[in-house]
Each structure stands twice: as structure tokens, then as C-alpha cells.
Amino acid sequence: MQTQMERSDLTENEKMEAFLARIDRGEKIEADDWMPDDYRNQLIKLISMHGISEIMGALPEKEWVPKAPTLRRKLAIMAKVQDEMGHGQLLLRVAEDLLAPLGKTREDLMQDLFAKRLKFHNVFHMEAPTWADAGVIGWLVDGAAIITQSMSLDTSYAPYARALHRICAEEKFHAQHGESIVLELAEGTEEQRQMLQEAITRWWPSLLMFFGPPENGTITSNQSTNMRYKIRTQTNEELRQVFLKKYLPRIFHLGFTVPDDTIHFDEEKDEWVYQQPDWEAFKQIVKGNGPRSAHRLNLRETSYEETKWVRDAIMSYGRHVG
């Protein structure tokens, strides 16, 4: 039985009206449902970036697997890297279903990544020179990711929502893992506390950039579209304020500072007032011109090429069995 939107006699405008009505009723969209092109494209952009960010985000911590200070820490960070890779694969599978009607596959996404056409989160272009960076990544970067992902748990696109429920559950353990490292360093020697302070200072601009540029009084067309489609429910600045309200008091409680002498809480507006990071630098970083962009992209591309024979063997076996 055909649904209303699948009827061939409906105009595109009528299909769009019916689609938006479904969204407004709180219904969920599945991969094989009719959807407008810009809804599909927005989802592909968002989910592909999220999936690739999970994979690229494992690389800064992968650098610390052989250098973790204890066996327990080594096992924990190895498990975290494995989880992040699994999240990436899960999300790319969701993206593949959206790409299929366009005649594209995961291979297209990977080539877009290597050509710097597909962006990933600014934080994963940055350096992680000390063990304290591994703690800050887990505590604050993963904390920021949880805030963003939790916003989308009720997204209108059902396959993404299902993936996010699993991912968010695991990310909470990752944040606790990072917090454990941070607390251990905070309670350690003066040298360890100094190392942690330097890591917080180093990561602060990137953490502010994580949620994207502020709206400056107007919501960007991209955010407006995603909010109309209920792909997201909060703006960049709203998400950033959630992060600041949750984590700044904790940073200060531990006796650490952030590199912003102007930062303060405005009681009347119920928001943190802070110094804006360099948004021009942000644009360059996400274009693949960050401190560790070239190294990590090269590592990912080399790994992808070296394992091509495995993918070829699996596909060959699948065709033979089929």
C-alpha cells in the first residue's frame, strides 16, 4: 500500500508539505522513506563528518597507547580507541544508506577525506604532546561531543537516532575515563599539575571552536534548515553555553585556569561571557591545515591503502557466495 508521499500523482510541493507534516507530528524518517534532496544532503554532510571525526579522533589517543604510564591505562585507552573506530564504522554505514540513491559509496567518502573535501572536527587536527592531553581529550573533548550528540538523540532521522543512543552510552564511559586521568594528575605532583594546566591552556581555543561559530544575532541558513527538519534542536552558541556551564566550574574547582582574563558569568543573562577564539584559524584548521592534519590524514590514507586487499577479499567472497 502506497503512503501519501509515495503516490506518483503528487507534486514535489505536496510531497514536501506531507514530509514537513510528518516531521511536525514527531514521526521518524527511515532510509527508504521519501525525503527532500536538501534533507538527504544535510544528513549526509552531518553524519559523514561525525563518522569521520570518530575515526580521526581515535588517532591522537592512538599515539598514547604505547606510551601510557601504566598497563591499566594502556588497556583503557586501547579500549577507547577501539570504541571510537567502531562508532565511525557504525555512522558511515548509516551514511551509506543515504548515499546509495545518489550512486555513491563509502569509497567516495574516504576519497573526499583524503582530498580534504570532507571535514572532520577541529579538535582532531591538534597536537597531543603529553599524557595530560589524553586526559583533556577524554574529559573535555568527549564531554563536548556528548553535549552535541545528546541534542540529536531525538533527531527526525531514525537510523541516526538509533546509532546515537549506542554511541552516547559509550561516550559517557570515555568521558569518565578522561576525568579519571585528569583527577589523578590534579592530585599528583606539582609537575603533573603543571602538565595538566598546560594541556587545558593548549586545548581551550579548540574546545570553544568545537561547536562552530556563533550566530552573531542570526542563525545561519544551514543551522536554520537543520532545525526546521528537526535534525538538530539547538544553535552552536546554545550548545557552547551548555558546555561552559557544565565544565568551567569544574575546571576552576580543581584549581586550574583557562587562558581568558575576561571570562565571567553574567547572572542577568544567565550565560558565560568569553573571549572569542580565532575563527579564521578555525576555518583553516577544518580545511585540513591544522598542526597535525597532514600527519593524521597521511596515516589514515596509508592504512586505508594497505588494507585494500582485505576489503577486496571480502567483496570477492561475498560475490562468490551470493
Domains belonging to the chain, first-starting first, are 12-321 (1.20.1260.10)
Q: How does pLDDT run across 192-234, given as a tens digit for each residue?
A: 999 999 999 999 999 999 999 987 655 565 788 899 999 999 9
Q: How does pLDDT run across 76-116, given as a tens digit for each residue?
A: 999 999 999 999 999 999 999 999 999 999 999 999 999 99
DSSP readout, 79-133? HHHHHHHHHHHHHHHHHHHHHGGGT--HHHHHHHHHTT-S---GGGGS---SHHH
| 19 within 8 A of 35, measured Cβ to Cβ | yes
Q: How many CB atoms lie within 10 A of CB 210?
A: 24
> What number is the average pLDDT over the span 18-44?
96
Q: What is the mean pLDDT of the chain?
A: 92
> What number is the average pLDDT over the span 140-156?
95
Rounded to 10 deg, the angle between the 158-186 and 37-62 helix axes is 30
Instruction: Specify the pTM.
Output: 0.91
CA 56 from centre of chain = 10
Residue type (1 letter), 191 = E
Instruction: Name the band, by pLDDT with cuts 50, 70 and 90, for residue 2.
Output: very low
Distance CA 322, CA 304 (A): 26
Q: How does pLDDT run across 243-294, given as a tens digit for each residue?
A: 999 999 999 999 999 999 999 999 999 999 999 999 999 999 999 999 999 9
